[in-house]
Amino acid sequence: MKDYKTLTTRDMFALVTLLIGIKFADTTPALLAQKGQNGFWLIPIVSFIVVIPSFLLLIYLLKKYKDKNLVELLETILGTFSGKLLGLIIFLLAYSTLIFDSRNYVEQIKLLYYPQSPTLIIFGLFMLVAFFCAKRGFEVIGFTSWIGLPLIKFAVFLLALLVLREAVWNRIFPLFGSGLNIITMEGVKNSSIFMEFFLLTIAYTSFKDTKFFRRGSYLGSAFVVVEIVLFFLLYTIVFDYNSIGKIAFPFHEITQYINFGDYFTNIETFFMVFWLFGAFMRFIIFLYLITWIFGTVFNINEFEPLLLPFAFFTVMIGMLPENSIINEMVIRDVLLDVMTPLFVLFPFLLWFIALCKGDLKK
């Protein structure tokens, strides 16, 4: 593997923003609104509060041990066998997320824009683009993320500004939707919607200085949680109480509310272009990180050739669910519930073992 040492804070900020921030524009709000109803915009706040101590603790350990990425840190603290085993579990859960999340995006593309095209063809083309871009390397991915970020965010916030005229602020009530206890429980259960924070630590030593990684991750995490919450709130005040839990693709739905008179129709196509760009960037980054984790677990220095097999198996396994309802409401929901305890607790386990070993006194 190449030695990437040119990435800086801005690249890390862009990676975090594109990898996690786009979740306001996928099926995540539809999933959370099923139980949270019009109070679902509060769920990411609870999830972030639950997950951020674990992430900060992991960053602290990485800083303490120096020159270690995620998997190397696991092996150093837990030992080679246990560290690789935990790394493999993280890989399997993350790869499962890639598979079923990508299927969700493909279903959105098919249902909204190409209803007559076979799902397999769209899925194959989607992952083929992700593979060809990912094979350019992490340095290029980081640079491209930073270059493309302003365009994507301009389109996103332009959309938010234009659709505000359709907002009815009274729809925010009842404030806690289906109940504060449900909002809290769903926030805790779905904390793994931010699990990409942890996956990015595989690239901890690949920046010009590790302080750039830390700064970018702090700025990026703060930005994405605010962005996600604001867009979830926007969905709440645009759609009424009864419909908020029934809309599969709220981001695309609000684009239908925008028009510029009789001469400018199909404005949603403009936003679709930037949504697609953001979606591709998310899975380019995701595919590369997951392959990187696998390569590190099995001591494969030149892991880039594995990008194509992983892209291929993503399509093959992703086609197994019969439809998007099973994929989203059953498989993805269960996957989030399973991942949350692991990503919330394993940094505390590492910290406790390192403390017992006396490594933190150095």
Give pLDDT tens digits for 162-185. Answer: 888 888 888 888 888 888 999 999
Per DSSP, what are the bridge partners of residue 115?
none
Give pLDDT tens digits for 204-220. Answer: 999 989 999 999 999 99
C-alpha 125/C-alpha 14 separation (Å) is 25
Which pTM value belongs to this model? 0.94
Average pLDDT estimate for 257-276: 75
Does 341 score more than 50 pLDDT? yes
2: in domain: no
Does 42 score more than 80 pLDDT? yes
pLDDT at 3: 47
The count of structural domains within the chain is 1
95: in domain: yes
Domain that holds residue 63: 9-361
Instruction: Assign 262 a pLDDT band (cuts: 50, 70, 90).
Output: low
Q: Would you tell me how many other CB atoms lie within 10 Å of the CB of residue 236?
A: 28
Beta carbons of 133 and 280 less than 8 angstroms apart: yes
C-alpha 354/C-alpha 348 separation (Å) is 10
Q: Would you tell me how many other CB atoms lie within 10 Å of the CB of residue 49?
A: 13
Average pLDDT estimate for 29-47: 91
281: in domain: yes
Does 33 score more than 60 pLDDT? yes
4: in domain: no
Region of poorest pLDDT, from 103-112, 198-207, 326-335 = 326-335
Average pLDDT estimate for 110-132: 92
Angle CA 156–177–103, to nearest 5: 50
200: in domain: yes
pLDDT at 2: 46
Percent of the chain with pLDDT over 90: 66
Q: Which residue has the higher pLDDT, 74 or 358?
A: 74
The size of the chain, in residues, is 362
Q: Please enumerate in sequence order all residues whose Cβ is within 8 A of that of 357, keeping only pairs 6 or more positions apart, or say none.
A: 77
Report the number of secondary-structure helices (H) and strands (E) in the chain.
Answer: 15, 0
Average pLDDT over all residues of the chain: 90
| CATH code of the domain in which 238 resides | 1.20.1740.10
